[in-house]
Chains A and B, each alone.
Chain A
Amino acid sequence: MVTMSELHKYGRTKLIMPGTAACPGCPLQIGLRQLIMALEGKLTLVIPAGCSSVIPGAAPYTSFTVPVMHVPFASSPSVASGLVRALRARGVDGHVVVWAGDGATADIGFAALSGAAYRNEDIIYILADNEAYMNTGIQASGTTPKKAWTTTSPRGKAEDKKDVALIMLMHKVPYVATASIAYPIDFIDKVRRAASIRGFKFIHLHAPCPPGWKFPDDYTVKVARLAVETGMWILWEYYQGKLTISPPSAPYRDKQRRKPIEEYIRIQGRFAQLSKDDVREIEAMVDQEWGVLMRLANIFNIS
């Protein structure tokens, strides 16, 4: 497990160059800094259209400190596949990491993603999930939660959130995990375990976005933490054939220990219109999600 004393060596390193184009409180920059620390800067990023294309600022400068290929929306898994094959053919060992939004992953680039996973390409794919198409102004995506306000779901989204990590698990790839920007130690450990494996690795990173979810800039980490503490976002890992609930989420297997989900819902303007019944419905969905994951954990542990 990585520790704060180990990370202290990056205390004066600019993992991201300050002065980016991101909104104050941006979760993507918190996650990117953790990712770069995890791989000690030895990675090439492939980034499809989204906030992360804009965050680095204007040419001929960039806020990113590692090589980045900015690529068309649906193409990142394909570009990364080609890139890693070219690197391996030249005997280069570095990591190729796709850093993509939820729109790019769950909707628009999904066919290419499924193909790369099915071919077991040697890449790490990180879905940085801010739960909507943020860069174009908060349109609902396949991972926007049910009942959340977006500009395309003004009365609350009717459809449920796609469980992208479970979909990727069913591609029979060697590594799948969920993570959160509020739990850096857990995320860094997961990136490092993923990096130790050859083949396709998928990490679904929860990334609360202040303007998109309508909460104050100060609360990006707090909201991400509440998602885990209320049981609404479950941290788990599939590694070496076993599926386990990760340490930060482990206490919440017991429903009694979860915080009331209102604490997560009421802090966000995108859920302002929810009635008590809506909240109960969401709570039932959360219980069901836990039921599915705990059963899967049992199934994968027997094998």
Chain B
Amino acid sequence: MIKVSSIYVKYLLSRPAMGAGGKTGTWRVRKPIVNLDKCIKCGLCWLYCPENAIDWLEDKTVTIDYDYCKGCGICVDVCPVKAISMIDERVV
């Protein structure tokens, strides 16, 4: 006999995965670039990145996952030392 609960768990339960809303890096029209020479390792860009596309590494530097970064620019805005800049990515 098949239990309803096992059908639920197998077919109706969504599981965590990257890109459940798509490869969102393709939405981007501008790309944030971190200048590690300027970075003071404060972690604020990591804290505020809506997309969780920034990792704050063991040595407290940061790295951006461009497969998913949407290019919102919040990291640029919150960086206290302007260590992140935006470059235009539009193809005409």
Would you call A174 an interface residue if the criterion is a C-beta within 8 Å of the partner chain's C-beta atoms? Answer: no
The answer to whether A11 and B46 touch (CB under 8 A), given A33-B52, A59-B14, A219-B77, is yes
Interface membership of chain A positions 146-165, coded 1 if the CB is closer than 8 angstroms to chain B and 0 otherwise: 00000000000000000000
> In the complex the two chains form, is B46's CB within 8 Å of A29's CB?
no
Please state if A29 and B51 are interface contacts (CB–CB under 8 Å). Answer: yes
Report the Cα distance A30→B77, complex, angstroms.
14
Q: How large is the interface on A (under 10, 10 to 19, 20 to 34, 35 or more residues)?
A: 35 or more
Whether A25 contacts B56 by the Cβ 8 Å rule is: no
| Complex Cα spacing A65 to B20, Å | 12
Q: Determine the chain B residues whose CB is within 8 A of the CB of A25 once the complex forms.
A: 50, 70, 72-74
Are A61's CB and B17's CB within 8 A?
yes
A101 touches B (CB below 8 Å): no
Return chain A residues, CB-CB under 8 Å to B22: 19, 21, 57
**A135 CB to nearest chain B CB (Å):** 14
Bound-state CA distance A30–B44 (Å) is 12
Residues of chain B lying within 8 A (CB to CB) of residue A62 = 14-17, 20
What residue in chain B is nearest A65 (Cβ atoms)? B16
A18 to B16, CA, bound (A): 10
Across the interface, which residues of A come within 8 angstroms of B18, CB to CB? 14, 17-19
How long is the Cα–Cα vector from A63 to B14 in the complex, in angstroms? 9
Interface residue count for B (Cβ, 8 Å)? Answer: 41
Shortest beta-carbon distance from A28 to chain B in Å: 8
Residue of B nearest to A217 (CB): B72
Residues of A within 8 A of B24 (CB): 18-20
Residue of B with least CB distance to A54:
B21
Q: Are A24 and B72 in contact (CB under 8 A)?
A: yes
Contact (Cβ within 8 A) B68 A18: yes
Task: Say yes or no for B23: interface residue by CB 8 A criterion.
Answer: yes
Cβ–Cβ < 8 Å partners of A216 in chain B: 73
Known A7-B43, A33-B52, A59-B14; judge A19-B74 contact (CB<8 A). no
Which residues of chain B come closer than 8 Å to A43, judged between CB atoms?
none
- Are B73 and A218 in contact (CB-based, < 8 A)? yes
Residues of the B chain whose Cβ atoms lie less than 8 Å from the Cβ of A21: 20-22
A27 engages B56 (CB within 8 Å): no
Q: Is the CB of A8 within 8 A of B43?
A: yes
Q: How far is the CA of A210 from the CA of B70 in the complex (A)?
A: 14
Given A218-B72, A218-B74, A218-B77: A30 and B16 within 8 A (CB)?
no
Chain A nearest CB from B40 CB (Å) reads 12
Chain B residues with CB below 8 A from A200, complex form: none
Contact A19 B68 (CB under 8 A): yes
Residue from the list A8, A59, A220 in contact with B50, Cβ < 8 A:
A220
Given A22-B21, A218-B76, A220-B74, decide whether A61 and B57 contact each other with a Cβ distance below 8 A: no
Q: Is A109 part of the contact surface with B, judged by Cβ < 8 Å?
A: no
Smallest Cβ distance from A189 to chain B, in angstroms? 14
Which residues of chain B come closer than 8 Å to A219, judged between CB atoms? Answer: 77
Question: Residues of B contacting A33 with CB < 8 Å?
Answer: 50, 52
CB contacts under 8 Å to A, within B32-78, are 42-43, 46-48, 50-53, 55-58, 60, 65, 67-74, 76-78
Q: Would you call B57 and A11 a contact (CB within 8 A)?
A: yes
Measured between C-beta atoms, what is the minimum distance from B49 to chain A in Å?
A: 8
A21–B42 alpha-carbon span in the complex (Å): 28
15 A-B residue contacts at CB 8 Å?
A11-B60, A17-B19, A18-B51, A19-B51, A20-B51, A24-B27, A24-B71, A24-B72, A27-B50, A59-B12, A62-B17, A63-B16, A63-B17, A184-B48, A216-B73
Partner-A contacts on B (CB < 8 A): 11-24, 27, 42-43, 46-48, 50-53, 55-58, 60, 65, 67-74, 76-78
